[in-house]
Amino acid sequence: MKTSLFLIGFMGSGKSTIGRMLAAPLGLPFIDLDHYLEQQQGQTVPALFESLGEEAFRALEREALHALAQGSPSIIATGGGAPCYFDNMAYMKTKGKTVYLKASPEELSLRLKPELGNRPLLEGQTKETLPRFITQLLAKRSPFYDQADIVVLTDGQTKQDVVRRCLLFINT
């Protein structure tokens, strides 16, 4: 690939897992935007979110996304909210291909229940309130996610199936 591949989707959709699996067959480095931010700032994403507030965090995230997109072609897994702020989605589409890893609210709830307490946006959520919270936030974010060059449905698919679908898209 001569351009970057941006993996977008809700938290828990598999962006980092699929990104790592795509790196070898595509011969590209994998970069997790959240981990990149943590390394650059010397704090975890939850700590950055708490100390800066969401608005300043999103601005920092945008700067990091632009810096990575201007570098060598890579597979970049964005944070779940990154495509929804500033011009991030349009910018990614000018710098490479975008893939939306789409999972249903029910599937995301199952994946994220063990993460309660570890993700800033899930703060205050319980196992009972999580499905409704995901459905509401997904409704706000879907208009951005749906702009991706390809949408890969992940419900009921193995990781290998999702990787195969991504590779088919990339190679066409």
Q: How far are the Cα atoms of 38, 49, 125, 134, 144 from residue 147, in angstroms, in the given order?
A: 27, 26, 28, 19, 6
Distance, in Å, from the CA atom of 162 to the CA atom of 6, rounded to the nearest integer, reads 15
pLDDT at 49 exceeding the cut of 90 = no
Question: What is the Cα–Cα distance from 108 to 119, expressed in whole angstroms?
Answer: 14
What is the rounded average pLDDT of the residues 39-59? 93
C-alpha 162/C-alpha 101 separation (Å) is 8
> Distance (Å, rounded) from C-alpha 115 to C-alpha 93?
30
Q: What is the span of the domain harbouring residue 90?
A: 4-170
For the stretch 67-123, pLDDT in tens is 999 999 999 999 999 999 999 999 999 999 999 999 999 999 999 998 887 787 888
Place of tokens 């938290």: 11
Give the CATH number, domain containing residue 45: 3.40.50.300
pTM: 0.94
**Residue whose C-alpha is closest to residue 163's, from 15, 30, 35, 32:** 15
Residue among 44, 65, 66, 48 at smallest CA distance from 57:
48
Residue 21: closest CA among 75, 69, 72? 75
Please say whether the beta carbons of 7 and 106 come within 8 A: no
Number of domains in the chain: 1
